[in-house]
């Protein structure tokens, strides 16, 4: 080979080498922005289930995907700020839950896909236009929480057959909670119960609501809301001090010392949310993925709390429960 040709060959290779190296650089792993409407500790079982299912589908955090978390601590105003922050990070998909979280994500972006792991009546709340064909950039799983309100009252009557006065607490800033409140009030009236409702706006309203209900109600029903989930420990303490049996939507409140919960199995729903995220990361459009419904509902009872309240758990209720915490 002639010297000039050799130099040209080597020089060309040297020039093209950096471009070849650049072309061989691995693409940036996709980023999932997780917007928690409450706190990490409150929904750790949900996020664990979500991450586990992702890994089963080949999306391993820190390797093939990166998950960035933000926590609104039950504050809708904070949720919007954090949703905008995630959108600014140019995440590939935003995963969230509760109507406040989904609404915040929608306000933050109209282009980044949004998957909600659990939300109450998404059509009524304006989260999607249609269940079977959501359109736009949003899809997920609906809680159908209002459909189970009457069932919770039946369970409460089975536990304490002679109770007559029901106290209901709901966050007025949460449209889904207010819809649930109307369903509970209707079901309670059909059962001939006396109703005392407390409409909350912030965490500062919880203690005064307890004070107002003390001595005037026999049992308490809490409408689902991140504000109340985030305050589950002080609520359990106040309930014990007032010696009032409590009913919640989800087991996190029962783990904290509440008496009972009946509702959709949230870890299972977040596993299914991970499956929807998998489809989105592989090119599916959220608007083409139908909103899914819960398929598994759990009844969880805290036997320790029942004993502290002097309540004997009926064998029939124990047999029907999915878990008795003891």
Average pLDDT, the chain: 90
**What residue segments make up the domains of the chain, in order of their start?**
31-144+265-297, 146-264+298-325
**Cα–Cα distance measured from residue 186 to residue 140, given in angstroms and rounded to the nearest whole number:** 28
pLDDT confidence of residue 26: 58
Report residue 72's pLDDT band, with 50, 70 and 90 as the boundaries. very high
**Cα–Cα distance measured from residue 55 to residue 49, given in angstroms and rounded to the nearest whole number:** 10
**Cα–Cα distance measured from residue 103 to residue 126, given in angstroms and rounded to the nearest whole number:** 8
| Of the candidates 190, 246, 260, 237, the residue with the CA atom closest to the CA atom of residue 217 | 246
pLDDT confidence of residue 74: 86
**Cα–Cα distance measured from residue 318 to residue 137, given in angstroms and rounded to the nearest whole number:** 43
The residues near 140 (Cβ < 8 Å, ≥ 6 apart) are: 102, 114, 115, 116, 117, 118, 119, 122, 127, 273, 276, 291, 292
pLDDT above 70: residue 12: no
pLDDT above 80: residue 73: yes
CATH of domain 146-264+298-325: 3.40.50.2300
Cα 320 from chain centroid? 25
pLDDT digits (tens, 9 = 90+) for 244-286: 999 999 999 999 999 999 999 999 999 999 999 999 999 999 9
pLDDT confidence of residue 232: 93
pLDDT digits (tens, 9 = 90+) for 125-182: 889 999 999 989 999 999 876 668 999 999 999 999 999 999 999 999 888 899 899 9
Report residue 320's pLDDT band, with 50, 70 and 90 as the boundaries. very high
Comparing 42-56, 81-95, 117-131, the range with the smallest average pLDDT is 117-131
Report residue 20's pLDDT band, with 50, 70 and 90 as the boundaries. very low
Report residue 21's pLDDT band, with 50, 70 and 90 as the boundaries. very low
**Cα–Cα distance measured from residue 93 to residue 87, given in angstroms and rounded to the nearest whole number:** 9
Region 95-121: mean pLDDT is 95
Q: Do domains 31-144+265-297 and 146-264+298-325 have the same CATH topology?
A: yes
pLDDT above 50: residue 190: yes
pTM for this predicted structure: 0.84
pLDDT confidence of residue 10: 41
CATH of domain 31-144+265-297: 3.40.50.2300
Region 305-321: mean pLDDT is 96
Comparing 8-17, 33-42, 187-196, the range with the smallest average pLDDT is 8-17
């Amino acid at each position: 080979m002639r010297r000039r040709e050799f130099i040209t060959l080597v020089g060309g290779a040297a020039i093209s080498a950096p471009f070849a190296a650049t072309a061989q650089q691995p693409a940036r792993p996709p980023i999932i922005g997780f917007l928690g409407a409450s706190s990490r500790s409150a929904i750790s079982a949900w996020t664990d289930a979500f991450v586990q299912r992702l890994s089963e589908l080949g999306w391993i955090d820190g390797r093939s995907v990166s998950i960035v978390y933000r926590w609104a601590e039950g504050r809708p105003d904070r949720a919007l700020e954090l949703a905008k922050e995630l959108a600014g990070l140019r995440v590939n998909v935003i995963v969230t839950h509760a109507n406040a979280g989904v609404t915040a994500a929608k306000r933050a972006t109209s282009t980044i896909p949004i998957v909600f792991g659990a939300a109450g009546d998404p059509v009524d709340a304006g989260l999607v236009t249609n269940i079977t064909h959501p359109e736009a950039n949003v899809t997920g799983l609906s809680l159908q929480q209002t459909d189970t309100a009457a069932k919770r009252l039946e369970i409460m009557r089975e536990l304490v057959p002679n109770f007559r006065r029901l106290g209901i607490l709901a966050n007025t800033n949460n449209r889904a909670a207010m819809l649930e409140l109307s369903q509970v009030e209707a079901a309670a009236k059909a059962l001939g119960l006396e109703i005392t409702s407390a409409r909350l706006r912030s965490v500062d309203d919880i203690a005064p609501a307890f004070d107002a209900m003390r001595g005037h109600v026999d049992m308490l029903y809490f409408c689902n809301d991140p504000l109340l989930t985030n305050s589950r420990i002080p609520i359990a303490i106040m309930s014990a001090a007032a010696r009032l049996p409590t009913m919640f939507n989800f087991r996190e409140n029962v783990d904290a010392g509440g008496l009972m919960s009946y509702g959709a199995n949230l870890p299972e729903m977040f596993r299914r949310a991970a499956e929807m995220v998998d489809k989105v990361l592989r090119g599916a459009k959220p608007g083409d993925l139908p909103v899914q419904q819960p398929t598994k509902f759990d009844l969880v009872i805290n036997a320790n709390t029942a004993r502290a309240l002097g309540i004997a758990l009926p064998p029939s209720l124990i047999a029907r429960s999915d878990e008795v915490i003891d």
